[in-house]
Amino acid sequence: GVVPNTVHSVSVPVGLTPGALFAYTALVRRTGSAFAKGPFFMPAEACVVAFRGKVNDVNQTLSIPIQTVPLNDHKCKGCRVSSGLVDAWTSLGPGVLDALDSAGCARSATGAGAARTDKVFVAGHGLGGSLATVAAYYLHRGGYNVQLSWSFEGSRVGNSAFMDFLHSEMADGTRPVTLWQVTHANDAGPRDPEKGAGFGDYRNQVHFDTFNVSVHQLCIKAGDEDSHCGNAKYSRSDLEYQASDVPSTSFCFTPYAPEGNMCILGNPDGLFKRPTQCYVGGPMAW
């Protein structure tokens, strides 16, 4: 469970938009041994970093660029990542590191007086999932021990060299999977930007085609080509795209979310809460 008094929020402006990017951190502690082994690999203690999805025009702008920039990292040769996501981490990252330290997590946590742990999980939905994937790389290279993490409906974030590093090098033999991409039905988000623009695929995907959380498909990819598994089985013409101001049904309504909805979390409530929230505004994160 979450250790009391360890939840810290991080919010930064972008341009004239306050709170354009948001994340929170917390220290969590395993209360039993049931989740210690695979497929969970939950350590006794670790921090969690969760990234918010899109809620404003700035987020939309950050998620659109298909231009990639080099990481110039000798450990990740040839790696390139979306320029918008690199900019987002550059703005939000320092606050995330401070929040992790406040929560009791720090890189290479050893020795007397050190933080409790260097183990960190990352997660997010939509743009938050894409940011979580990029953050996993930066945290790993910064000395944190990144644990099994989750990108819910996250987009493609970098080229094949970057995705190879993410899935091959980061786990370092400690577990078979570094990060899961979670997809639902024919949502177009995880298939964008197109691979023709120089982007690589996630190797490990959990795919849900229905609203039954116990019915899912695991896609373990040896490389970037797997046209018959998970979200990749849909032709591009059959994908459901998001409108400019309203997320798609396959993106929001998922079997693993609270009340089956990843975009609206409890405010407002009731049968018509989605159209109500679209009309009056509120915490729609996608």
Of 149 and 285, the one with more pLDDT: 149
What is the SS3 assignment for 48? Answer: strand
Rounded-to-integer distance, Cα 70 and Cα 76, Å: 10
Q: What is the CATH number of the domain that holds 103?
A: 3.40.50.1820
Q: What's the chain's average pLDDT?
A: 86
Q: Which of 126, 151, 230, 217 is nearest to 186 (CA)?
A: 230
pLDDT of residue 119: 95
pTM of the model: 0.89
pLDDT of residue 271: 53
Asked if residues 91 and 11 have their Cβ atoms less than 8 Å apart, the reply is no
Q: Does residue 1 form part of some domain?
A: no
Rounded-to-integer distance, Cα 49 and Cα 144, Å: 12
Of 274 and 277, the one with more pLDDT: 274
Quick check: 280 pLDDT over 70?
no
Quick check: 244 pLDDT over 70?
no
pLDDT of residue 9: 96
- Residue 49: its H or E element: strand 45-51
Asked if residues 50 and 21 have their Cβ atoms less than 8 Å apart, the reply is no
pLDDT of residue 133: 98
Q: Does residue 2 form part of some domain?
A: no
Pair type for strands 45-51 and 17-29: antiparallel
Positive or negative, the Cα torsion across 266, 268, 269, 272?
negative
- Residue 250: its H or E element: helix 249-252
Whole-number percent of the chain with pLDDT over 70: 85
Quick check: 224 pLDDT over 50?
no
Rounded-to-integer distance, Cα 191 and Cα 235, Å: 10
Asked if residues 48 and 25 have their Cβ atoms less than 8 Å apart, the reply is yes
Q: Does residue 286 form part of some domain?
A: no
pLDDT tens digits, one per residue of 132-172 = 999 999 999 999 999 999 999 999 999 999 999 999 888 77
* Least confident span in 90-104, 106-120, 185-199, 260-274: 260-274
Quick check: 217 pLDDT over 70?
yes
What is the SS3 assignment for 236? Answer: helix
Q: Does residue 285 form part of some domain?
A: no
pLDDT of residue 174: 74
Q: Which of 255, 8, 9, 11 is nearest to 153 (CA)?
A: 255
Four-CA torsion 35, 166, 129, 141, nearest 10 degrees: 90
Give the number of domains in the chain.
Answer: 1
- Residue 121: its H or E element: strand 119-125
Mean pLDDT (whole number) for 70-78: 97
Quick check: 112 pLDDT over 50?
no
Cα–Cα distances (Å) from 204 to 221, 226, 249, in that order, read 6, 11, 23
Quick check: 114 pLDDT over 60?
no
pLDDT of residue 220: 86
* Least confident span in 106-110, 124-128, 133-137, 223-227: 223-227
Print the domain residue range for 126.
8-280
Q: Which of 90, 10, 96 is nearest to 47 (CA)?
A: 96
Output the CA angle 31-37-41, nearest 5 degrees: 80
